Chain A
């Protein structure tokens, strides 16, 4: 490489190729990460729009704007897009790709071409998923869980959605494999395991789940295909199959997948808090170890999705017990985050606001999870709106907020520009308030007994639904403000220096935006990542 290209940032350096092709076929982890960011951002907006339509339908009992079949299709594609296209790939594919190699002092991931393959598999899977949107009366209508035997019998576009999830799984597996290898082999000299930034620890724990759990759901989805096309009786009782078996296989993946979604989010919180509290993270070792503990125990709790399914009594009790155990490492993380603020010098910039909101929302999501984990109470709230509230608090209030935090935090690093801080703050408060107005009433209406996936409901469930729908409007206003600010900032924002947040991790110790190979010279590491002393 010539002297000149050394100082061109990865955004400009197309290595003498056609600009479009140089992006589509780039093996640079940062370019791949950015393409993921744009695609995932678009899918997120599409799924938010579907959520908006659903909330509109639920504003009053009876039919408001659509028929039940369309409603059932919308909540299915909302779930499929949000889960398989946004939140599972989300943080690892976007911010893992963008930042992991730089944070550990590497030039790229271990297998750059495999990384490009992951991206292309993701694009193919996503296109297949989008084909299910053709024809409003044919939207898959099984819910994102594809429960058998309904998923065998439904004559909508279930197969496309199932195959899309199957293909997307490979993207996830390959990304996991790549990250594990990268972390094992490509750390900069001096960066021992316990000198790694906590975001890398979180991605490492996540990658193992991606690698080991995703194949299970792949096989399960193929079994659905075999049953639909070849009539092999696996799950459909009328062919001699067992529908409970499907639920076991599905949740053996999909529960650990919840940790694929939330562990990287926790890593981001651990990354951002010390920077804006100007303090070392409290309990670094515990933070690293609890990530692994959550990943491990998370494998063993899938049965708590099935407390009313007809599973044996002892199995229900054991799964409930294990579920409470997995709550312990999460609680430790919360205590450590809060203590990190103690005696710091706190600067409430937008990334910090989102991180603090994460902690608040995650506490509500986690604590209501205890209600679901306890057997007696779960029997009542199982499959009600209480669950819908719970997982939106964890997934959106947790992972979603953390995704926004990461975007605001690394934005200047990626673009070399700054967004409008004032509008970012305004957007934050609208999103935070809207989010809580939208999802909190779901706990109440769930305790009253309203089941989930309900197109229509009894009159006594009316008022919380009105509140929720109004909340969805507020939330969307906030999201629009955020998007405009981000897009505007990336094009016209004022230029920033190399290290606007005064971060100590390696990504801030190189040019902003980084050069294609990240560092002029591979750094060597002598200290732990958060030794703030100013």
Chain B
């Protein structure tokens, strides 16, 4: 019976308990011997030490036995690991983008999501992509992890075996908001998965809010701009629309502006033209050429929507 959430849980946990089991036996055994010696040969009970000659037979025995045990541990670790690098053919391929500080998933049919939705009992191959620095894709419940390295085609795979939601964490330190680079794997049965996968709705995962949110997520806006009023790298989106801002122009001149549509568009396409007081010039990249006009509008709609609720 496989009780783990993925096909790897059994092998990893077996290797784990074999190693830990042997280790605990050794730790308790040796510690007990030490404590017995400390009592028995304490200077008060045993004032006269006895000279003990070196014993090569004994030394060879305790060289050979640990060697065999260590090789056994290596073997279990190896056996549990080999399948992790052998992706079965016909696996569902998903492109995973890990960026400062969010995850994004694209399927073969063009479907996009910010949570990883996978069918139960079907192998999934993740092709890992990073546009910026190192990250590491980690699903503790699945016992899988692989670094996301810019310009390197890393991959990993798994078969989810239990329906449910599981945390995705970033395990390779990636700067200020490393510990907030979180998402979820949602495991659905095949029918529910296909229903979602083949639905016509463009890019949208039903559990999420608006298209604008999707776009913000896709371009990593939410890595630096919060939607709840808290201060992150950049100013928050909440209460931003139509607010009064003091900005510095490119010639370092101060100016008061209102955050209308025009301002917000400029902020995305030419972020250094007007830098809000209290934030560093150059920390935001320009999205000119990468975001379409439609997408810019969608983000603005999303920013507006935050103040409606």
- The complex places the Cα of A373 from the Cα of B172 at a distance, in Å, of 18
Residues of B contacting A384 in the complex (Cβ-Cβ under 8 angstroms)? 171
Instruction: Verify A376–B41 contact, CB threshold 8 A.
Output: no
Interface bits B34-66 vs A (CB < 8 Å: 1, else 0): 100110011100111111101000110011001
Residues of A contacting B42 in the complex (Cβ-Cβ under 8 angstroms)? 345-346, 348
Q: Which of B20, B46, B74 has the most CB of A within 10 A?
A: B74
Instruction: Verify B30–A367 contact, CB threshold 8 A.
Output: no
Interface bits B73-89 vs A (CB < 8 Å: 1, else 0): 11011111100110000
- The complex places the Cα of A332 from the Cα of B154 at a distance, in Å, of 39
- The complex places the Cα of A175 from the Cα of B305 at a distance, in Å, of 65
Q: A367-B27, A449-B140 are in contact. Are A345 and B47 (CB under 8 A)?
A: yes
Instruction: Verify B147–A309 contact, CB threshold 8 A.
Output: yes
Residues of B contacting A28 in the complex (Cβ-Cβ under 8 angstroms)? none
Q: Which of B131-139, B192-200, B207-215 contacts its partner?
A: B131-139
Instruction: Verify B84–A454 contact, CB threshold 8 A.
Output: no
Query: CB within 8 A of A68: which of B12, B50, B79, B176?
Result: B176
Question: Shortest beta-carbon distance, A401 to chain B, in Å?
Answer: 15
Kindly state whether residue B225 has any CB partner on chain A within 8 Å: no
Interface bits B1-31 vs A (CB < 8 Å: 1, else 0): 0000000100110011001100100110011
Kindly state whether residue A363 has any CB partner on chain B within 8 Å: yes
Kindly state whether residue A230 has any CB partner on chain B within 8 Å: no
Q: Which of B177-185, B238-246, B288-296 contacts its partner?
A: B177-185
- The complex places the Cα of A344 from the Cα of B302 at a distance, in Å, of 77
Q: Which of A143, A344, A371 has the most CB of B within 10 A?
A: A344
Instruction: Verify B34–A454 contact, CB threshold 8 A.
Output: no
Residues of B contacting A69 in the complex (Cβ-Cβ under 8 angstroms)? 176
* Closest partner residue, chain A, to B46 (CB atom): A345
Kindly state whether residue A147 has any CB partner on chain B within 8 Å: yes
Question: Shortest beta-carbon distance, A380 to chain B, in Å?
Answer: 4
- The complex places the Cα of A382 from the Cα of B141 at a distance, in Å, of 14
Q: Which residues of B from 231 to 288 have beta carbons under 8 Å from A?
A: none
Interface bits B160-198 vs A (CB < 8 Å: 1, else 0): 000000010111111111111010000000000000000
Instruction: Verify B37–A68 contact, CB threshold 8 A.
Output: no
Kindly state whether residue B220 has any CB partner on chain A within 8 Å: no
* Closest partner residue, chain A, to B174 (CB atom): A150
Instruction: Verify A376–B12 contact, CB threshold 8 A.
Output: yes
Residues of B contacting A345 in the complex (Cβ-Cβ under 8 angstroms)? 41-43, 46-49
* Closest partner residue, chain A, to B74 (CB atom): A324
Kindly state whether residue A392 has any CB partner on chain B within 8 Å: no
Kindly state whether residue A189 has any CB partner on chain B within 8 Å: no
Instruction: Verify A244–B136 contact, CB threshold 8 A.
Output: no
Query: CB within 8 A of A383: which of B76, B149, B171?
Result: B171
- The complex places the Cα of A308 from the Cα of B134 at a distance, in Å, of 12
Question: Shortest beta-carbon distance, B205 to chain A, in Å?
Answer: 21
Instruction: Verify B149–A243 contact, CB threshold 8 A.
Output: yes
Interface bits A286-328 vs B (CB < 8 Å: 1, else 0): 1000000000000000000000111001001100110011011
Q: A243-B134, A308-B145, A453-B173 are in contact. Are A379 and B52 (CB under 8 A)?
A: no
Query: CB within 8 A of B73: which of A309, A346, A370?
Result: A370
Residues of A contacting B138 in the complex (Cβ-Cβ under 8 angstroms)? 383, 449, 451
Question: Shortest beta-carbon distance, B284 to chain A, in Å?
Answer: 14
Residues of B contacting A335 in the complex (Cβ-Cβ under 8 angstroms)? 59, 62
* Closest partner residue, chain A, to B12 (CB atom): A376
Kindly state whether residue A517 has any CB partner on chain B within 8 Å: no
Kindly state whether residue A375 has any CB partner on chain B within 8 Å: yes
Question: Shortest beta-carbon distance, B76 to chain A, in Å?
Answer: 7
Instruction: Verify B77–A150 contact, CB threshold 8 A.
Output: no
- The complex places the Cα of A317 from the Cα of B132 at a distance, in Å, of 29
- The complex places the Cα of A324 from the Cα of B76 at a distance, in Å, of 12
Instruction: Verify B54–A282 contact, CB threshold 8 A.
Output: yes
- The complex places the Cα of A300 from the Cα of B23 at a distance, in Å, of 24
Instruction: Verify B145–A374 contact, CB threshold 8 A.
Output: no
Residues of A contacting B12 in the complex (Cβ-Cβ under 8 angstroms)? 376-377, 379-380
- The complex places the Cα of A243 from the Cα of B67 at a distance, in Å, of 35
Residues of A contacting B206 in the complex (Cβ-Cβ under 8 angstroms)? none
Kindly state whether residue B91 has any CB partner on chain A within 8 Å: no
Question: Shortest beta-carbon distance, A173 to chain B, in Å?
Answer: 29
Instruction: Verify A454–B179 contact, CB threshold 8 A.
Output: yes
Kindly state whether residue A3 has any CB partner on chain B within 8 Å: no
Instruction: Verify B145–A380 contact, CB threshold 8 A.
Output: yes
- The complex places the Cα of A268 from the Cα of B147 at a distance, in Å, of 39
- The complex places the Cα of A499 from the Cα of B176 at a distance, in Å, of 55
Residues of A contacting B31 in the complex (Cβ-Cβ under 8 angstroms)? 360, 363
Question: Shortest beta-carbon distance, B19 to chain A, in Å?
Answer: 5
Residues of B contacting A339 in the complex (Cβ-Cβ under 8 angstroms)? 52, 58
Q: Which residues of A from 345 to 391 have beta carbons under 8 Å from B?
A: 345-348, 356, 359-360, 363-364, 367-368, 370-371, 373-380, 382-384
Kindly state whether residue A452 has any CB partner on chain B within 8 Å: yes
Instruction: Verify B144–A143 contact, CB threshold 8 A.
Output: no
Question: Shortest beta-carbon distance, B165 to chain A, in Å?
Answer: 12
Residues of A contacting B51 in the complex (Cβ-Cβ under 8 angstroms)? 279-280, 533
Kindly state whether residue A277 has any CB partner on chain B within 8 Å: yes
Instruction: Verify A310–B15 contact, CB threshold 8 A.
Output: no
- The complex places the Cα of A382 from the Cα of B81 at a distance, in Å, of 14
Instruction: Verify B79–A376 contact, CB threshold 8 A.
Output: yes
Q: Which of A154, A238, A346 has the most CB of B within 10 A?
A: A346
Kindly state whether residue A341 has any CB partner on chain B within 8 Å: yes
Query: CB within 8 A of B150: which of A243, A360, A456?
Result: A243
Interface bits A326-339 vs B (CB < 8 Å: 1, else 0): 01100110111011
Instruction: Verify B78–A317 contact, CB threshold 8 A.
Output: yes
Further pairs besides A332-B63, A339-B58, A456-B180: 18, Cβ < 8 Å: A68-B176, A69-B176, A278-B43, A279-B52, A283-B59, A308-B136, A320-B78, A321-B74, A324-B74, A346-B37, A348-B42, A374-B73, A375-B81, A376-B79, A378-B77, A449-B141, A451-B171, A454-B178
Q: 7 tightest A-B contacts by CB? A: A374-B77, A449-B140, A376-B80, A375-B81, A367-B23, A237-B151, A237-B150
Q: List 20 A-B contacts (CB under 8 A).
A: A68-B179, A147-B172, A243-B152, A279-B50, A280-B51, A283-B54, A283-B59, A285-B54, A327-B66, A331-B66, A332-B59, A344-B46, A375-B80, A378-B77, A380-B12, A448-B140, A449-B140, A452-B173, A456-B180, A533-B51
